[in-house]
Amino acid sequence: MWEFGRTMYRLLTVAVILLWLGAMSALFVRDVWPSWSAQDAPPMRAEDLADLLRRQEQYGLFKVTRESEPAVRVGTAWAHLHPAGDGSAIRSTVLVHGLPMAPPLRIETETVFDDHGGLDSFWLRVLGIPMTRVFVRGERHGIYFPCEIHLGPIHRQANLEMSASRLIGDSLRPFSVLPTLQVGQSWRMQLLDPLAAALARKVQFRSLVARVTGKETIEHRGEQVECFVVETAPQQVKAWVNSHGQVLLQEVEMPGLGRLLVREEPYDEGLRAQARRTVHDKSEDGDDTDDGWR
């Protein structure tokens, strides 16, 4: 009887150890390995973006309340990919409206890539907040990516590590263009939440690891389109990207807001102009280049 008890105890101990090792291995593969094995972000070279250069895109932003109910539109985003010197740049406008306890907000961004497709600089500003200026600007310097943050009267600096800042996106539309994807590819990126900057007066970068997890076919404008699936951790973002690098659909979990769908739709320049008139800034009078903000 004593020997049987000892044997059972040993078997139980071995089972617990194996269970623990299995759980730790699963956590390592899910949370640690993607960061260790992260590669360079997909380059934004002009030759890889030939089909998308000078293309104008529009995305609807929809808040999901319940699966059984239709999503509610809370905004619209526009993007324009264009040549910039020897590289390329993405200029975007986002209008957010219909959020509780928040006025209509307009977010303007521009991200510039060098001739090798690497991130060179970016700026972001939020309009629509009375008496408060929200502006973030960053530019690559060697192995660092220093950022200048203006939040009302508060000015501060943030020094990001370049290896973790190959791509920078905002939480409302984390991905803009993702060319040359392959299943299994992963990279590190930074995410900035403009809503937190506008409503909570808090500017913070969040480091994420993005990974191409596979391929799925989705319905887009009445057609079946095979897409790469890109997912991030720790914040949950899932994006479907076609073979040309165009992001057709994104699902984003927004802290305090819930699930947001970002869906590509037909471009409407008149609607973009109306968005700029809806949330207007005096510094834009007579000049839409934003040079005064840089």
Q: How does pLDDT run across 20-35, given as a tens digit for each residue?
A: 555 444 443 444 444 4
Task: Compute how many other C-beta atoms are within 10 angstroms of the C-beta atom of residue 35.
Answer: 15
Ramachandran category for residue 196: left, alpha or beta (phi over 0 → left; psi -120 to 50 → alpha):
alpha
Task: Compute how many other C-beta atoms are within 10 angstroms of the C-beta atom of residue 80.
Answer: 17
Please state the rounded mean pLDDT for residues 70-91: 90
Strand partners, 112: 89, 121
pLDDT value of residue 41: 76
Calpha distance 253→34 (Å, rounded): 20
Q: Which of 155, 160, 181 is nearest to 239 (CA)?
A: 181
Residue 118 has pLDDT above 70, yes or no: yes
Calpha distance 179→108 (Å, rounded): 23
As a whole-number percent, the residues of the chain with pLDDT over 70 amount to: 81
Whether residue 193 contacts residue 204, with contact meaning beta carbons closer than 8 Å, is answered with yes
Query: In this predicted model, which residue has the larger pLDDT, 263 or 46?
Result: 263
**Alpha helices by DSSP H, the chain:** 2-27, 33-36, 194-199, 269-278
Query: In this predicted model, which residue has the larger pLDDT, 263 or 163?
Result: 263
Q: Which of 44, 79, 54 is nearest to 262 (CA)?
A: 79
Calpha distance 64→193 (Å, rounded): 19
Structure tokens of 263? 């869906």
Residue 285 has pLDDT above 60, yes or no: no
Residue 37 has pLDDT above 60, yes or no: no
Fill in the amino acid letter for 134. V
CA angle, residues 253, 113, 270, in degrees to nearest 5:
65
CA angle, residues 293, 191, 75, in degrees to nearest 5:
75
Query: In this predicted model, which residue has the larger pLDDT, 208 or 68?
Result: 208
Tell me the per-residue pLDDT of 150-209, one tens digit each, with 9 for 90 and over.
Answer: 988 888 888 887 766 678 888 899 998 998 899 999 998 888 888 888 777 777 788 889
To the nearest whole number, what is the mean pLDDT of the chain? Answer: 82
Give percent helix, percent strand, percent coil of the chain, each to the nearest 5.
20, 45, 30
pLDDT value of residue 93: 94
Whether residue 248 contacts residue 241, with contact meaning beta carbons closer than 8 Å, is answered with yes
**Alpha helices by DSSP H, 139-257:** 194-199
**pLDDT tier at 261, thresholds 50, 70, 90:** very high
Whether residue 63 contacts residue 257, with contact meaning beta carbons closer than 8 Å, is answered with yes
pTM for the whole thing? 0.81
Distances in Å between the alpha carbon of 135 and those of 68, 205, 259? 39, 14, 26
Residue 10 has pLDDT above 70, yes or no: no
Task: Compute how many other C-beta atoms are within 10 angstroms of the C-beta atom of residue 203.
Answer: 23
Task: Compute how many other C-beta atoms are within 10 angstroms of the C-beta atom of residue 19.
Answer: 10
**SS3 assignment, position 203:** coil
**pLDDT tier at 291, thresholds 50, 70, 90:** very low
Whole-angstrom distance between the N-terminal and C-terminal Cα of the chain?
81
Structure tokens of 31? 């949370």
Query: In this predicted model, which residue has the larger pLDDT, 253 or 13?
Result: 253
pLDDT value of residue 13: 66
Q: Which of 241, 234, 182 is nearest to 208 (CA)?
A: 234
Calpha distance 24→233 (Å, rounded): 17
Distances in Å between the alpha carbon of 40 and those of 31, 96, 106, 186, 277? 18, 32, 31, 8, 39
